[in-house]
Amino acid sequence: MLCFGRDFRMDFLTLFIIYTVFVLGSFIMVMNCSGREQFLQSCVNNLSKITACVLPVKLRCTACRMFNKVLYTRNPFFLVLHIVLEVVVYGEYTGELYGYCLEMEFTVLSLSIPYVLLMVKMIFFVMCCVKDPGTVTKSSQGFPLYSYDGVIYQEGIKCATCNLIKPARSKHCRLCNRCIHRFDHHCVWVNNCIGAVNMRYFLLYMLTLCAMAGDLAMLAVAFLQQLVLKSNLMQGSYIGEDGEPHPVDISFTIQHLFLTFPRVVFMLGFLIVVFLLLAGYLCFHLYLVLVNETSNEWFKKRQWNVIQSKHLKHKHKSAKCKSNYHRGVLGNIKEIFKPLTDVEKKHV
């Protein structure tokens, strides 16, 4: 029976919880940033009120300008942050976890899968970054054509900035300063809009990114599990603060693993949070694909339905904004991966 000399208290768990909450909160905020300027403005206003009594006026104004520049202008901040986070995670995986897994006789094939996923993900990531999402121009051709629904998209509306008639399902992106066909959202992580042309690359990018995070997390869990099993850690005991021996439980095991392999445990926590958020975000977009909606339309329809329900609250039934672009599940999927052209549209 293994015996440990002291009882590790929960200080590290407090640190780990703070770390997890910070990461989770940051990712939720960024996910909500996509296409929701009102949410961002509310966050900025609330943050300004909180810091008004703490920070000097000049420092607060400088911080607000930097914050606005990062979130309200097209810039590579989150793109660089995304790459830095990947470098850190893969650096830890390559420099520490890979070697330990080899010693525990993990197969080279299973340990190489994260690198394959990284290369595939980089292809779709670059495509999302550099591919024109479908900029509306005077001579725009080869983009999906849709009818106006008379609710979200009104016929004959001209974009005040681009000075062009806005096609149905298009929207002017303030960050990119252009109108985008079948506008979904502006993704800060790729520093580009997601529209008719690059939506397929965005979905594949999200899919491979989820697979990367999930595979790395499973390898980290498998390593820690094998470590516990081979060391017979759960059959040991430790001396508590009361001076009495106690059997090793889950809480002590987690603390012991954290103190022995802190970077691996931190990486695992980060990957779990990232995977859950990305998987949820991907599922949301897959749902939108199946019903042929964009996230921009989803948010606008919710707002429209709320307004209508308030105006018609004394009536038994209220009119709801429904999608006019549903072409069947297979047709909706085909539209994403093979956008209709002007010529094709005439023959449909």
Q: Above 50 in pLDDT, residue 346?
A: no
* pLDDT at residue number 6: 45
* pLDDT at residue number 5: 44
> Widest CA span of the chain, in angstroms?
83
Q: Above 90 in pLDDT, residue 121?
A: yes
* pLDDT at residue number 58: 61
Q: Which of 187, 193, 283, 321 is catalytic?
A: 187
162 counts as catalytic: no
* pLDDT at residue number 269: 85
Q: How confident is the model at residue 115 (pLDDT cuts 50, 70, 90)?
A: very high
Task: From 341, 30, 24, 23, select the one nearest 186 (Cα to Cα).
Answer: 30
Half-sphere exposure of 101 (CA within 13 A, CB side): 22
Q: How much is the average pLDDT of 135-163? A: 80
Q: How many CB atoms are located within 10 Å of the residue 296 CB?
A: 25
Residue type for position 165: I
Q: Taking each helix axis from N to C terminus, what angle separates 250-260 and 262-291, rounded to the nearest 10 degrees? A: 110
pLDDT tens-digit series, residues 271-325: 998 898 899 999 999 999 999 999 999 988 887 777 766 666 555 444 555 667 8
* pLDDT at residue number 330: 92
Whether residue 185 contacts residue 194, with contact meaning beta carbons closer than 8 Å, is answered with yes
* pLDDT at residue number 221: 92
User: What tokens does 309 get?
Assistant: 């329900």
Residues in the chain: 348
- Alpha helices, DSSP H, located in the chain: 11-33, 37-51, 57-72, 77-92, 98-103, 108-130, 199-231, 250-260, 262-291, 295-311, 329-337, 342-346
Question: How far is C-alpha 107 from the geometric centre of its chain's CA atoms?
Answer: 31
Q: SS3 of 171, please?
A: strand
pLDDT tens-digit series, residues 215-253: 999 999 999 888 877 776 666 665 556 666 666 666 666
Q: How confident is the model at residue 254 (pLDDT cuts 50, 70, 90)?
A: confident
More confident residue, 245 or 123: 123
- The rounded distance, in Å, linking the Cα atoms of 233 and 256 is 9
Strands 237-239 and 3-4, bridge-based pairing:
parallel
* pLDDT at residue number 347: 35
Q: Above 80 in pLDDT, residue 50?
A: no
Q: How much is the average pLDDT of 86-115? A: 93
Q: How much is the average pLDDT of 326-348? A: 72
* pLDDT at residue number 9: 45
Q: Mean pLDDT check: name the lowest of 1-15, 181-195, 304-318, 328-342.
A: 1-15
More confident residue, 254 or 35: 254
* pLDDT at residue number 291: 92
Write the DSSP symbol of residue 243: S
216 Cβ contact list (under 8 Å, min separation 6): 89, 93, 114, 267, 271
- The rounded distance, in Å, linking the Cα atoms of 133 and 197 is 5
* pLDDT at residue number 151: 82
- The rounded distance, in Å, linking the Cα atoms of 342 and 303 is 32
* pLDDT at residue number 282: 94
Q: SS3 of 88, please?
A: helix
More confident residue, 39 or 241: 241
185: β partners: 194
- The rounded distance, in Å, linking the Cα atoms of 89 and 117 is 14
Whether residue 292 contacts residue 199, with contact meaning beta carbons closer than 8 Å, is answered with no
Q: How much is the average pLDDT of 101-115? A: 93
pLDDT tens-digit series, residues 60-80: 566 566 655 666 677 888 888
Q: How confident is the model at residue 117 (pLDDT cuts 50, 70, 90)?
A: very high
- The rounded distance, in Å, linking the Cα atoms of 258 and 61 is 40
